[in-house]
A and B are shown apart, each in its own frame.
Chain A
Amino acid sequence: MRLLNRSAGRISRHRRGPLAGVVVLLLGLLMTGGLYAAFSPASADETASSAEQVAKGRELFLVSCSFCHGQNGEGIKTQNGNQLGPSLVGVGAAAVDFQVGTGRMPLTQPGAQAPRKPEVFDDSEVAALAAYVASLGPGPAVPEESDYSLEGMSDEERQAAITRGGQIFLTNCTACHNFEGSGGAMPRGGHAPKIRGVEPKYIYEALLTGPQNMPNFSNGNLSPDEKRDVIAYLGSLDEMPSYGGFGLGGLGPVPEGLAAWLVGIGLCVGAAVWIAAHTTRSTKKKVDA
C-alpha cells in the first residue's frame, strides 16, 4: 500500500482519486478469488489422496465394469472358455483413459469390436477409474501433453519430425489404418478405425496400450519421440489441402469407382434420356405462311 500511497500527498496531474485504493483492493480481491476458482479444482485433484481416487474408482468400477471384468479386475471367462472381459491387471491408466475416454467402454453390447461412442463418464470419473485400474498392477500411465506436442521446436525440426513420422506411419500403421489414416476392414467383422481427427492423447494411448486387436507399440518398441512424430504427421495430413479435388474419404479405388459409376455414368444416362425424350407437342396445326 505504501507503493500506492507514495504520491498521495503530491500535487500532480496524475494525482489519484480518493477511491483509487479501494478500487485496487477490490481488483486484487477479485483476481485472487478468480485465480483460486480457476486453479483450485486442479490442485485439489492433485492433492486428493490417491487412496480416495482409487476408492472412488473402485465404486464406479463395481457398478459399470465388474460384470465383465470381475469384481477385482481379474477378468471373467465364459463357460465355454471364451473371454467375457479380459483381466485388467497391468493394463495401466493409459488403457482406461483410452477405452473409457473415447466411450468404447463400458461396452453396450457384445460384438466384433467396441466402437467409439459418446462417453459415459466425465473426466474426473475417468481419472478415478484409471487410478483404480492402475492400482491393480503396474502399467503405462496417461501421457502428458508434452509427450506428444511439438511445442518449442523450430520450423526445421518440426518438418523433420513430420517427415520421420510419415515414414514410421507408412511402415507400421498403413497396413491396417490406410495410407491416409482412413481406417480399413479387418477379419471377422472387425475394422481398424479411422485415426484422422482423433485427439493426439488417444492416439498416443492406443500406440502405448494396443486396444482390442491392435498390437502395441510400447515405448521400447516405438520411442516416445517416434510416437510424437507419427502424431505430428497425422496432424499435418489434416492441414494439407487436397489439391487433386475431393478425396472421397481417402479410401482408394472403391469410392472413386462408385462415384464414377453412380455420378458420372448416371449423368451420361440422364443426358441420353433428355436427348432422346419426346418434346412437348401442340394440338395446333401449322399455319402455312
Chain B
Amino acid sequence: MSTPPTPHDGHDGHEDPNLPERDDLYANPGLPEHHWRPTDVDPRMEKRAERQVATLFGLSAICTVLFVVSYFTVGADDTVAGLGAQNLTLGLTLAGALLFIGLGIIQWARKLMADVELVEERHAVASPEEDRAVTLAALNQGIEESGIARRPLVRNSLLGAVGLVGVTAIVPLWDLGPSNAKVTKEQPYPGAGLEHTIWDKGMRVVRDVVGTPIRPGDLQIGDLVNAEPEGLFNGGPDGEPLEGLALQVGKSKGAVVVVRMEPDDIIPGDGRENWSVDGIVCYSKICTHVGCPISLYERTTHHLLCPCHQSTFDLADSARVVFGPAARPLPQLPLAVDSEGYLVAQSDFTEPVGPSYWERG
C-alpha cells in the first residue's frame, strides 16, 4: 500500500494580493426602477383584465351547471366515441369547474392584485442561543423529574415492554402456511405440504377450464396445452369438483404445461428416459423463481419464458434454466398413458414445485 499523496499547500488560507478589496469597489446599485404593468397604468387594460377574470369564473360556473345536468341526463350505459359517456362528461365538467377557478385566480393575481417587489432577508438557520439553552434546560429537567436515570427497574421494564410489542408483528407470520406448519394425517412432518401436490400415480392430465382428458393422438407437434390435474375436477367427496381453499391450493401447485415436440429433440435427463410419451412432456407451470404461472412457449426453440423476470427454461432439456434469475429447472411431471389411452401422471412431482425456499437451493 502506498501512502496517499499529501495535498499541496495551495491558495487555501492565503489572500490573493492581486484581488481588490470588494466592499469598496462598487456601490450597491439597489433595486432597479419599478416598471408598472399595463393594467396598472391604463384603465382600459384594467377593465379588460377584470372582464377576463370574470369570464373565467363564469366558465367555471357553466361547467358546474353542465356537471349537474349531465349527472341527471347522461345514462350509465351511454357511450361517446367508444368511451363511457357518464364518466367522460362528469370528469370533463368537474375538471373545467375547478380548472377555470384556478385560472381565474392566477389571472387575477398576475394582472390586478398589488404589484410590489418585496425583499425578504434570510434569517440564520440555527435557533437563537437563549432558545437553545431554554430547551436543553427543559429536557434536562424532564429527565431529572422522571428519574429515568435513577430508576433502572422502570427504565429497563419499559424498554423490554416496547421491544416485546414487535412480537405482535412477527407472530401472525405463523399463519402464512397453517397447512405447512401443522402435522396432520396428510402431512407427516412440517413443510411436507410444500413438497407434494395433488398429482398422484394414475391421475389424468386434463385441459384447464374445460377439464377434458387428453389423448396423445390429440396433440400435434408444436401443440401447447395449459393443463391441470383431474383431481381439481373430481377430487372432492363423491367425485365433485374441489372448492374453496382446496381448489386454490390444488390449482396453485398442480398447474402444468404440456407440449409436444419432435421426440428426437428431447434430451432426456438422468432417470427421466421414460417420462415423456411420443415427444409429449409435462412441466410445472409455476416458475421456480417467485412462482409466476408461465406459459409463454416458443415452439421452435422449446423455450418457456416467465413474463415476470424473464427466466427462460428449455423444455427439451429437462427445463434447464437458460436465462434469468430462476435457480433450478421447472419440476417435470412423469407422463404415462392409462388403459383408456389418456395421458396420466406416473407419480407426483419428484421435487417441490414453485419458488425455492430456505431449505432448498
Contacts and interface: CB of A to CB of B under 8 A. Distances in A.
Interface of A: 164, 167-168, 171-172, 175-176, 184, 186-187, 190, 210, 212-218, 220-221, 226, 241-246, 274-275, 279-287
B299 interface: yes
Nearest to B295: A175
Contacts of B305: 186-187
Contacts of B209: 164, 167-168, 171
Given A220-B217, A241-B82, A213 B298 contact: yes
Contacts of A283: 35
B222 A215 contact: yes
A282 B36 contact: yes
B143 to A, nearest CB: 47
B123 to A, nearest CB: 24
Contacts of A172: 208, 224, 226, 295
B298 A186 contact: yes
Interface pairs A-B: 6 shortest CB-CB: A220-B218, A243-B84, A215-B224, A281-B35, A241-B79, A213-B298
A280 B38 contact: yes
Report whether over half of chain B's contact residues are helix, strand or loop; otherwise say mixed.
Answer: mixed
Contact of B41 (A164, A184, A221, A284): A284
A285 B36 contact: yes
Q: What is the interface residue range for chain B against chain A? A: 35 or more
A136 to B, nearest CB: 17
B210 A226 contact: yes
A244 B84 contact: yes
Contacts of A246: 83
Contacts of A282: 35-38, 40-42
B225 interface: yes
B157 interface: no
B312 interface: yes
Interface string B205-217: 0001110000101
A187 B296 CA distance: 10
Given A168-B209, A176-B296, 15 more contacts: A175-B296, A186-B296, A187-B303, A214-B299, A215-B298, A216-B222, A218-B218, A220-B218, A220-B219, A221-B218, A241-B83, A242-B82, A280-B38, A281-B35, A281-B38
A286 B114 CA distance: 13
Given A186-B305, A216-B299, A286 B40 contact: yes
A212 B87 CA distance: 42
A242 B83 contact: yes
A242 B79 CA distance: 9
Contact of A221 (B225, B298, B310, B312): B225
